Every structure is written in structure tokens, then in C-alpha cells.
Amino acid sequence: MSGLAVEDVLQSKGRIKILKVLARELEVNISEIVRRVHLNHSSVRYHLHHLVQADLVQEKVFGRIRIYRFRIETIRARALLNLFDVWESNHL
């Protein structure tokens, strides 16, 4: 498990948007993430690298295709999913 602080994981809107996409879809390729969060490919790769290091996201590589999976089985990922659910249901 990574030693990244919560501040490091949630330090940018882009990273939070990526987490929300992955939390909803569970598995998404990088091109789809880029399209949904409206960031360039290199920015998304940068954020995904940190999310993988934080053990919130798993990267699967199939040749040139990279699929990213939200690691719902981890306590931290479940906590983030709960945070997103509570925040979005009460933040009208």
C-alpha cells in the first residue's frame, strides 16, 4: 500500500474527475477517460500514475491498450466511492 496522503490523491480537479469516472464505470480505457474528463492524454497519464501508486486504480496492459480499473476491493477506494455518493446526493 502506498504512503500517499489524501491531499496528494485529491489535489486536483482532474484527478477527482478521473476517480469519479472510474468509480462509476469500474473499467475504462485511457482514451475514454481523456474524452470524459476533458484533459489531454499526458495529464490523464500523470494523474493515473499517482492513482495507481495510491492503490486506488489498477492498470491492465493488453499490447498498446491500457485499461484502468477502480480497485473497489480496497478500503480507500470504497471510502472514496462513499464520499462521492454522499457528496453528490446531498450537494444540490
Share of the chain above pLDDT 70, in %: 93
User: Which domains can be identified in the chain, with CATH numbers?
Assistant: 6-84 (1.10.10.10)
CB atoms under 10 Å from CB of 1, counted, come to: 8
Model-wide pTM > 0.75: yes
How far apart CA 27 and CA 34 sit, in angstroms, is 14
What are the residues whose beta carbons fall under 8 Å from the beta carbon of 84, sequence distance 6 or more? 19, 20, 23
Q: Low-confidence residues of the chain, pLDDT below 70?
A: 1-3, 90-92
Q: What is the pLDDT of residue 87?
A: 86
